[in-house]
Chains A and B, each alone.
Chain A
Amino acid sequence: MANTGTRWCIDTNTLVPWLITDSGVLDLLIKKYGIPSDFRDIYLNRHQHSIDFIQRIIDLKSKGFSDEFYFSYLAINEVYSAVRDEIRSILLFKNGTPLSRWSEEKNSLDLPEDSMKTVYEDIENKFDVLFGNNTIIPLSDEPEETGDNFSEIVASLIFTFKRVKTQDAILLTTAISIRANYFVTFDKRLISEVSKELDEKYQLHLISPNHGNTLLKKVKL
């Protein structure tokens, strides 16, 4: 892999807010259920840094920015379950379910069948914007042909850090394996648990979308 610029790996939770807003999926569901605009404002307020981060990548890459932004194949496929979670949140909000019961009731909700084909197509259309011109590069999760120690690193992360989940470990190991400089995640728990050790061991910096924005704002082309 050529050394051209700083390498960034993006977590699913950082990409999905841009995807769900820019594709029109959020507006579609808000309109469908007649949800007050307050919900949209709350959502945008919570995820504005992630949305800005992805949009800034798109803008910078269109101007020839040489840094490389990666999104693993696992993360691409995780997008669908992340979108499902967002839709379920909208349904829980619509139903007036108390926040304390969201995690308990989330998995029992059916998605709106009449809208899911549109949701899927809207997402796929936006994939063209993200991946079509290598703005963000899809990255294989498969082992190298000559063998590698991917699983050893996954195991070490799982055994060392109590709260690291399988998906977290795979995405982090993918970032480590391409010697990424940054792993951008909305997951504050993950940052607080592993950032110090991964920084020392692999020079991989776990940062929030807000921090990513700060770094990208300094870019002069």
Chain B
Amino acid sequence: MSNVAKNIDTLLCFEKMRVSHSEKNNSLQVNVMSVFMATKRIHNPVTNKYYELRQRSTVNGEAGQIKGLWSSKKKARR
């Protein structure tokens, strides 16, 4: 099986999971949906091209390093 076919197979598998669990377990649906949402694209209808939309990410340890100019009292007490 080619890599492309494997990827399609994996996506179809996720889709089946999403459908089968959508009514029984909402949280599982959200988790599986996030797999589909990982790569978002902008479609250009004139040229029929897609541009990958870069996501702001916490993967490289950036979470929590952004500080506002002020913090809420609740946060300050922690």
User: What is A's interface to B at a CB cutoff of 8 Å?
Assistant: 1-3, 70, 73, 76, 120-121, 124-125, 127-128, 131-132, 134, 137-140, 142-146, 148-149, 152-153, 155-157, 160, 174, 176-179, 197, 201-202
Considering only CB atoms, which chain B residue lies closest to A76 in the complex?
B42
Per the 8 Å Cβ criterion, residues 33-76 of B in contact with A are 34, 40, 42, 44-47, 49, 51-60, 62-63, 65-72
CB distance from A201 to the nearest CB of B (A): 6
When C-beta atoms are compared, the residue in chain A nearest to B69 turns out to be: A156
Whether B47 lies near A128 (C-beta < 8 A) is: yes
Sort A-B residue pairs by CB-CB distance and give the 10 closest, nearest first: A124-B46, A156-B69, A131-B51, A152-B68, A156-B68, A140-B55, A140-B53, A153-B68, A137-B54, A138-B53
> A120 to B46, alpha carbons, bound, how many Å?
9
A142 vs B45: C-alpha distance when bound (angstroms): 22
Residues of A within 8 A of B68 (CB): 149, 152-153, 155-156
User: Number of residue pairs across A and B with beta carbons under 8 Å?
Assistant: 88
Instruction: Name the one of B45, B54, B58, B66 contacting A138, with C-beta atoms under 8 angstroms.
Output: B54
B44 interface neighbour in A127, A144, A174, Cβ under 8 Å: A127
Task: Establish whether residues A128 and B54, one from each chain, have CB atoms under 8 Å apart when the complex forms.
Answer: no
Minimum CB–CB distance from B22 to chain A (whole Å) comes to: 19
Given contacts A132-B49, A179-B66, 4 further A-B contacts (CB under 8 A): A120-B46, A127-B51, A138-B52, A174-B56
